[in-house]
Amino acid sequence: MAVSLEADIGYHPIHESSDITVVKSSRDIVLDNYGIIDVDCGINIEIPAGYKISAKTLNCFAEQGVLAVSSRIEEKRLIITLVNLGKQIKIGSGDLFSKISIAPIYGFEWYSKKDYQ
């Protein structure tokens, strides 16, 4: 799997052989309670067809009610959508707030019982 990463602000692999990377915020964010925001992580990323990217909030933010509900790539930029179910919180520019992983997408086909007879 060939993944291309280029960052404005930074990221770092948890381990050299790991496909999990910790992501930093590219700007100051104030997230009101029950607020939803798209965060441009400052990372240009390309992943091959047949793979997906997923994000998880780091525990220090998840414990305060901040959850990563989706991640996507728009024009090669990593965008993570956060929702805050707790009190208002500030995520500062450069704060580590999420981890991402890239994994293959597996598919399957449904067969009816009569196809096996």
- 3-state class (DSSP) for residue 82: strand
In the prediction, which pLDDT does 32 show?
94
pTM score, two decimals?
0.76
CB 9 within 8 A of CB 94: yes
The two structure tokens encoding residue 51: 């793979």
CB 61 within 8 A of CB 18: no
Count of domains for the chain:
1
| Backbone torsions φ then ψ of 77, nearest 5 degrees | -100, 135
- 3-state class (DSSP) for residue 81: strand
Residue 98 belongs to a domain with what CATH number?
Answer: 2.70.40.10
Low-confidence spans in the chain with pLDDT less than 50: 9-12, 14-18
Full residue range of the structural domain in which residue 83 is found: 4-105
- 3-state class (DSSP) for residue 114: helix
What is the tens place of the pLDDT at every residue in 85-105? 999 999 888 888 888 888 888
Which residue's structure tokens are 């208002």?
88
In-domain check, residue 115:
no
